Structure 1
C-alpha cells in the first residue's frame, strides 16, 4: 500500500490577451478497487464555476468558461491518493481471442475498444504480431509479449513527438515517450483481437528509476473476462503497480486529455505542466515540462507577426 500527495499544475500563457476561453478537464483521479481518493481540491484562475459530468467511459469531467480578457490561466489539481495493488502479475489465464467473441454481443464498449486505428503502416503491425506469434496463445501472453517488444525495439526519447504524433510516425522513428508507446501497444493488441483502453495518469518515482516517472504518464489496460482490466506499461515493460495512479481511460489520448479548450483572440500560447509528488515520509519529487503544442498555420503565424510589428511601431 502507498499514499501519494500529488499536485498537478497546468499553466497557459499568451503573448497577447485572449478572451472567451472554454475548457474541459479530466484531472479527477479514479476511485476503484485498489485506488482510493482520500482528498481532492481544484483551483483555477479567477475561480470559474466548474460543471461536473461523466463521459462515455465513466471518467469525471469538468467544464468551465473564462470570458474575461487574460494573458495567463493556471489550473491546479491537488489530490491525496491511496493505492494498494502492488505489482499485479496476472493469474494464470487461458482465455484466447476466440473466447472474447461472446463478450462483444453484450458490451458495445468492449467492441468499440477492440477496433484498431486505420493507419498506413498496418503491415508493420501485422509483421510484429507475426514475429511474436499470436496463434493459439492466451491473450495475456500476447499482450505481455507486445509490451516487451515495444520496450526492446523502441527508444524512449523526449522532445521529438507531440500530442499530434501518429502511430505511423512512431513506427517510422522507432522513438517516443509514454503516450506514443501506449498508442502503439493499443494498435498491436487491438489488431490481435484484444479489447484495450488508453490510461492517463501518473507514475510515481521510486528507487527503481522508472522511465516517465514524476510526470503525467500513459499506459494500456487489456480486458479479460476472468480478471477484468489489467494494466501494462510499455514504457517500462511492467504490469501496473502501486506507483501507477489513474486519472482517466478511453480509446486514446484524445478521450483522456487532461486539459483541452479553445479561445478567442490572436495570440501564441505556451503550456507548461508541473507535477509534484509527495510521500508519507516527507520525500518529494517535482518535474516541470514545457509541452510541445501543435504548430500554428502559416496564415495564423502571419497574423501574429503583423500584430508584433504593429506593437513595435507603436513603441517607437
Structure 2
C-alpha cells in the first residue's frame, strides 16, 4: 500500500520565545515491510541548525536550533512510503519459555530484546500490572495468544477518553482510571508484559482511518497513534535476527487488532518519553497555543520504473549556520 503522511505542528507563543532547541522524531522508519520513498521537513522560522542523526533505537531524529526571537513555530513533515501486510502471527513459544530467554545468566550473550523487558520512565514493573494480567497467563499458553487476549481485555475494560490524560500520565494511573487514549492503552499493555518478565516496545506512528464501505471508522483518525510490539521468537530460533523470521509482532489495544499495512511506524522506544514527535526547551513563550494536524491518505502509485514525485524532495539533512 502506498501512503502519504502529512504531520504539521504549530505553536503560537505569547510573549515571544527568545531562543529554543527542539528534537523531532518525524521521519518514519524503513524496515521490514515499510519503505520510505521520499521525506521532507519544513520548519518556520528557519532554524540556524538542523542536524539529522540516529538514536539508540534506530529512529531518525532531527535537532533544531532557533537562537533568536520568534512568535510562532511551524514544523511540517511530509512522507511518501510503501507498507506491506504484517507477517502471519503463528502460535509461537509458550510465554514461560520466552521469559526464560530474557533472564540474564552469567556468560550469556547479550540479547537486544532484553532492554525492552525492564522498567522505563513512564512504565514501571509493578504488582498492579501483574494482578491485571495474571488471568491471561495460563501455564503453557503461547505468548502471542496471551498478548492477543490482553489486547482485547484492555480494549473492552478501558474507555477512550481524549481529555482525561496527557503525555505525562504514568501507566499505573491509566490502569487505575481504566480510561485514556492510545498512548495510555499502549503503556498499560507494555506494563503488563514487562511485569511478567517479557519484552515489549512502544511504537509511535499513524493509522490510515478511511474505512471501507459499511465498516466503522477506527479510533485515531487525524492524529498520531501508538501501539505495542511484543517479542515472540519462533521455536528453535535464537531470536536474534531477520534470518530467523519475524520476532516482533505489533498489537493495537485501542482498536483490538494486529497492526497491518494501514499502519505507519514512525519510531520505537521503551515508552512515549523516547519517541515524542516534537519536544524541546524554550526561553520565553510563557503562554502558547498548540495545533497539531495529521493526514494519512492513499497515494497514487506511479507507473513501473517511474520515480515518485508528488511534490516531495529529498531529505533536508541540514542548513548552513
Alpha-carbon distance, 1:120 to partner = 8.9
Alpha-carbon distance, 1:81 to partner = 1.2
Distance in 1, matches of 2:58 and 2:120, equals: 22
Q: Could you report, residue by residue, the CA deviation over 1:118-174 in whole angstroms, capped at 9, with x for unpaired residues?
A: 979933322222222343212111111111110010011111110111112212221
Alpha-carbon distance, 1:95 to partner = 4.2
The reply on whether 1:236 has 2:255 as its aligned counterpart is yes
Alignment match, 1:271: 290
Alignment match, 1:137: 141
Q: Could you report, residue by residue, the CA deviation over 1:217-272 in whole angstroms, capped at 9, with x for unpaired residues?
A: 00000112223111000001100011110010000001010001001125212221
Alpha-carbon distance, 1:89 to partner = 4.1
Matched-pair contact (CA < 8 Å) for 2:222–2:293: no
The DSSP-based 3-state class of the residue aligned with 1:277 is: strand
- Between Structure 1 and Structure 2, how many residues are aligned? 280
Q: 5+ residue gaps in structure 2?
A: 235-245, 302-321
The reply on whether 1:182 has 2:186 as its aligned counterpart is yes
Distance in 2, matches of 1:134 and 1:191, equals: 15
| Root mean square deviation of aligned Cα | 2.1
Distance in 2, matches of 1:134 and 1:44, equals: 51
The reply on whether 1:106 has 2:109 as its aligned counterpart is yes
The verdict on how the C-alpha distance between 1:269 and 1:143 changes in structure 2, with shifts beyond 3 A counting, is same
Matched-pair contact (CA < 8 Å) for 1:89–1:239: no
Alpha-carbon distance, 1:191 to partner = 1.3
The verdict on how the C-alpha distance between 1:205 and 1:131 changes in structure 2, with shifts beyond 3 A counting, is same
Given the two structures, how large is their TM-score scaled by the length of structure 1?
0.83
Matched-pair contact (CA < 8 Å) for 1:182–1:219: yes
Q: Could you report, residue by residue, the CA deviation over 1:288-308 in whole angstroms, capped at 9, with x for unpaired residues?
A: xxxxxxxxxxxxxxxxxxxxx
The reply on whether 1:45 has 2:44 as its aligned counterpart is yes
Identify the structure with bigger relative contact order (alpha carbons < 8 Å, sequence gap 6+): 2
The DSSP-based 3-state class of the residue aligned with 1:97 is: helix
Distance in 1, matches of 2:125 and 2:36, equals: 41
The reply on whether 1:255 has 2:269 as its aligned counterpart is no
Pick aligned residue for 1:219 from 224, 227, 238? 227
Alignment match, 1:91: 90
Alignment match, 1:302: none
Given the two structures, how large is their TM-score scaled by the length of structure 2?
0.82
The reply on whether 1:75 has 2:75 as its aligned counterpart is yes
The verdict on how the C-alpha distance between 1:99 and 1:7 changes in structure 2, with shifts beyond 3 A counting, is closer
